[in-house]
Structure 1
């Protein structure tokens, strides 16, 4: 024998679907009409047979035909519903929030079984399918189609659903990428915020202040211990102090060029070289102001031998020390 038919569940089973399986079992095993009823009684189970005996009383189930038994059980278990009520439930069906197009169509077909639409079945399913879609953009797209049949409506809706899902995946990936960029903090090696310390080109540099590897001087945590109170920043005159303890002193013309024959140029420094001097007790400020002319003349007498040169150039050419 091909296949196996289990007992029918009287409380939760669908009798029509069960009989369809039984009939396919008869076809697969070439069971003749004369033995169809005995075969059904043999496989339907004890609870189902007790119900059949009650419904057939005072007759015995064996005295009935196969078709009479099927109709008797169907009338009891699945009484024919009101067509008007079934159509009302069909018209109230809408696509749920997390329901796919395929699941929505399948349930519409199920609800239409007892609506008795006859030859207009596909037209009614198409109309309810389009009107019940949760996506307004998909509905408008289907409204624009001429001669829209049921199959074409379902096919277009499924394709649009897939396109929206793919677009959502791309949007989420872009958002995650932007969030990851926002979460990048200041690099401990150079102070920049557009990369991590692991990707920094200066992570193997030796700090000129603490002589340890892993950061530049401006990111050194030992500045307070050594008395260095900050690093300089570029301004319109060249280079000036950025924090509490340094003020940049510049030599040369106001335009930013060095004097050429000055002290720095005589020692082999580039023409655009300026010099930093630590000024104790100088005022704090984000950018130091240019010193008065009298103070600049006094600075001519200061020995800059031990100072470090800082080049006046654009930030794009700046090389940290």
Structure 2
């Protein structure tokens, strides 16, 4: 038989409460919660229940936070990776700022990737290379 080694002076007159409290402590599967209970000098049944509830709630909050963190970590990392580039001219002559990871390198669009671009086989009118349009030409951008 196992016992918790509590002094039990508070529960001397209530053996059922003492037995329930000891059963809680022995039956707790989480070692951290059990340690929190054993740190108490001589908890009564209500104090033991409160410690268990607080520890379980805290554990649940930590799991929820970790879940949120793991879900949003790739989004945060992607936002941090984006590098701003200088203003880019669109076909209508207006300038706008964007990021390198948002642009298709074949046409300059932000709605698709280069691998999905219908212009990736077109020839640039500026540098005469086949794989992009003039508006997305990096050589033109440098001049």
| TM superposition score normalised by structure 2 | 0.52
The Cα shift of 1:224 comes to: 4.0
Larger Rg: 1
C-alpha distance 193-156 of structure 1, shift in aligned 2 (>3 A): closer
The Cα shift of 1:173 comes to: 0.6
Matched residues in 1 for 2:104 and 2:45: separation? Answer: 70
1:67-103 CA distances to partner (integer Å, 9 max, x unpaired)? xxxxxxxxxxxxxxxxxxxxxxxx9xxxxxxxxxxxx
Q: 2:60 aligns with which of 139, 150, 165?
A: 165
1:216-238 CA distances to partner (integer Å, 9 max, x unpaired)? 8971254642232579xxxxxxx
Matched residues in 1 for 2:80 and 2:56: separation? Answer: 39
Matched residues in 2 for 1:120 and 1:215: separation? Answer: 70
**Is 1:206 aligned to residue 90 of structure 2?**
yes
| TM superposition score normalised by structure 1 | 0.26
Q: Please list every run of 5 or more consecutive structure 2 residues that lacks an aligned counterpart in the other structure.
A: 3-12, 93-97, 108-118, 133-138
1:289-314 CA distances to partner (integer Å, 9 max, x unpaired)? xxxxxxxxxxxxxxxxxxx583xxxx
**Is 1:121 aligned to residue 16 of structure 2?**
yes
**Is 1:141 aligned to residue 32 of structure 2?**
no
Q: Is the 8 A contact 1:223 1:229 kept in 2?
A: yes
Q: Is the 8 A contact 1:123 1:150 kept in 2?
A: yes
Partner in structure 1 of residue 105 of structure 2 = 219
Q: Is the 8 A contact 2:25 2:34 kept in 1?
A: yes
Partner in structure 2 of residue 228 of structure 1 = 129
Matched residues in 1 for 2:50 and 2:120: separation? Answer: 69
Q: Is the 8 A contact 2:28 2:34 kept in 1?
A: yes
User: Hey, which of these two has a bigger chunk of helix by percent?
Assistant: 2
Partner in structure 2 of residue 33 of structure 1 = none
Matched residues in 2 for 1:156 and 1:148: separation? Answer: 9
Q: Please list every run of 5 or more consecutive structure 1 residues that lacks an aligned counterpart in the other structure.
A: 1-90, 92-117, 185-191, 209-213, 232-275, 277-307, 311-320
Matched residues in 1 for 2:41 and 2:53: separation? Answer: 18
> How big is the alpha-carbon RMSD for the aligned residues of Structure 1 and Structure 2?
4.3
Q: Is the 8 A contact 2:33 2:55 kept in 1?
A: yes
The Cα shift of 1:215 comes to: 9.8
Q: Is the 8 A contact 2:122 2:130 kept in 1?
A: no
C-alpha distance 230-181 of structure 1, shift in aligned 2 (>3 A): farther
Matched residues in 2 for 1:146 and 1:165: separation? Answer: 26
Matched residues in 2 for 1:123 and 1:218: separation? Answer: 70
RCO comparison, higher one (Cα < 8 Å, 6+): 2
Q: Is the 8 A contact 1:133 1:139 kept in 2?
A: yes
Matched residues in 2 for 1:178 and 1:215: separation? Answer: 20
